[in-house]
Structure 1
Amino acid sequence: MFKDIIEDYKVLLRSVPASTVTVFVVSVILMNLLANKELVSFPYLALDCGFTLSWIAFLCQDMICKRFGPKASVKMSILALGCNLAVSLLFWLVSLAPGMWGAYYDTGLTEVNSALNATIGGSWYVVLGSSAAMLCSSFVNSHVNQFIGHLTDDGSFAKFALRSYVSTGIGQFVDNLVFALIVSYNFFGWTPVQVITCSITGALAELACEILLSPVGFRVASGWEREGVGEAYVQKHASELEARA
């Protein structure tokens, strides 16, 4: 069973273009790091700087889902999550090192060094919340995307946009909601109203960012189909993909 999973991952990683995998993984790592900084904070809207990259991860998921199916998209999300956890562990180990950050020599303040260690090292509940949120949202986003594509997809940009915008909106809401319930509600003192309203408004803001570059995502995913990119994985899962087509 485990051997089959590993072999399937090998085929998938050889099939999805390396540039897409790289952008996906890097966006996941950076959005969790940037989430440490607040962008805006109002009673009914709260966004961290991770918002500037989270939509890229969802666009990559939609592209992968269109060509390789929802299971492939979820598998790539798990891979990205694993990479993020590995980087988080590395950051935590680095934060324990006795040396000083460069910013300390600019200011001479040990508090700056301590603050940078705390930021880079991260908090266990933030890592837990972001990991759970990504797992839930990637599953929802990929399967909603494929379900809508099963009903309406005719290969046009309009249908790609429909399945991508709806799945991303729902997926981003789930991502924000799970993170807010685990982290913001329990550790930051958010009220249930703030959890719901900020999850909705945050999802809408992130969706607006994806809309801007969705034509690029459509052209890339359509090019994969036209040029037969990843044919090995597609053929291996042909019966599964045809059942959903």
Structure 2
Amino acid sequence: MRNFFEDYKVLLRSIPAPTVTIFIVSVILMNLMANKELLSTPWLALDCGFAVSWVSFLCMDMICKRFGAKASIKISILALGVNLAVCLFFWLMSLTPGMWGAYYDTGMIEVNDALNATIGGTWYVVLGSSLAMLCSSTANSLLNVAIGRLSTSNTFGAFAKRSYISTGIAQFVDNLIFAIVVSHVFFGWTWIQVLTCSFTGAVAELLCEILLSPVGYKVVRGWERENVGAAYINRIAAQKANQ
């Protein structure tokens, strides 16, 4: 356990802070904005969390490229833990007797109650989103690195191949688990809706990542040129050599 936590400490010192920060903030915003519907049809369902959900997957792909699958999973777990702490904080604040600013604009107690319900969250939504993120981030990280091992080139094409395939599958896993745990059980979705919306939603989220993946690739190439994260990479290499 001491070695595990020491690896964690070195990893957090090695990954550039902006990447970890953007990753964690995107996870928090994704879960908060999931409370508002963006688009709903029989074959496609998107909430406003869609606007940032792809950011976390792009961050994972960048971390995988430079630091490996275990590092990506560790940062995903950290982001999940921070998000759960934020959800708990929001829930506690929703229990306070004070009024939201919107109440004084409208004079309607229903508005205040609605904001408390939205910020406070629903236990099964938090459970579903947390389980979905844990499974999808693990799937994305392992697939990304596995596909990366099949190529020896360090071009954008190789980065895109490993990122797009892993992200597409992992986004489907994320949507599917959430749809089964939450939408099917609590919202009454049919299995056709669960499968169709999970697939089309994954395609939409993948398209968003594709647009900015060149930026992610350039950032990672900068890490490699500047030898960013060498302490963690060398530590893991030494551990493998001693096994």
Mark yes or no: TM-score above 0.5. yes
Question: Which runs of structure 2 are paired with 1:27-66 in the superposition (5 Å)?
Answer: 27-66=26-65
Evaluate the alpha carbon distance shift between residue 23 and residue 153 of structure 1 in structure 2; reply closer, same or farther with a 3 A threshold. farther
Segment drifting more, 149-158 vs 233-242: 233-242
Letter in 2 for 1:181: I
1:225 aligns with 2:224: yes
Where do residues 81-160 of structure 1 align in structure 2 (5 Å cutoff)?
Answer: 81-160=80-159
Deviation track 1:129-188 (CA, whole Å, cap 9, x = no partner) reads 000000000000001100110002410000100100000000100000011110000001
TM-score by length of 2: 0.97
Q: What is the letter of the counterpart of residue 157 of structure 1?
A: F
User: Structure 1 vs Structure 2: percent identity of aligned residues?
Assistant: 70
Question: How many residue pairs were aligned?
Answer: 241
Displacement after TM superposition at 1:197 (Å): 0.4
Q: How does 1:171-186 map to 2 (within 5 A)?
A: 171-186=170-185
- Cα RMSD (Å) of the superposition? 1.2
In the TM superposition, 1:70-81 aligns within 5 A as 70-81=69-80
Task: Identify the residue that residue 238 of structure 1 maps to in structure 2.
Answer: 237
Consecutive unaligned residues in structure 1, runs of 5 or more: none
- Three-state SS of the structure 2 residue aligned to 1:43 is coil
Contact 1:69/1:241 (CA < 8 Å) preserved in 2? no
Query: Do residues 16 (structure 1) and 15 (structure 2) align?
Result: yes
Spell out the pairing of 1:188-227 with structure 2 (5 A cutoff): 188-227=187-226
- Contact 1:63/1:221, CA 8 A, preserved across alignment: yes
CA shift for structure 1 position 237: 1.0
- One-letter amino acid of the structure 1 residue matched with residue 29 of structure 2: L
1:153–1:160: 8 Å Cα contact kept in structure 2?
A: no
Q: Which structure 2 residue ranges, 5 or more long, are not aligned?
A: none
Secondary structure of the residue aligned to 2:40 is strand
SS at match of 1:40: strand
Rounded to whole Å, the distance in 1 between the matches of 2:213 and 2:13 is 24
After TM superposition, which residue ranges in structure 1, 4 or more long, deviate above 2 angstroms?
239-242
Report SS of the residue matched to 2:150: helix
* Alpha-carbon distance in 1 for matches of 2:47, 2:103: 25
Counterpart code for 2:88: L
8 Å CA contact 1:95–1:121 kept in 2: the answer is: yes
Structure-2 separation of matches of 1:176 and 1:166: 16
What amino acid sits opposite 1:166 in the alignment? I
Tell me which amino acid in the other structure corresponds to 1:185. H
Q: CA deviation at 1:238?
A: 1.7
Displacement of 1:8: 1.2
Query: Which secondary structure state, in structure 2, belongs to the residue aligned with residue 151 of structure 1?
Result: coil
Deviation at 1:194, TM superposition (A): 0.5
3-state SS of 2:149 partner:
helix
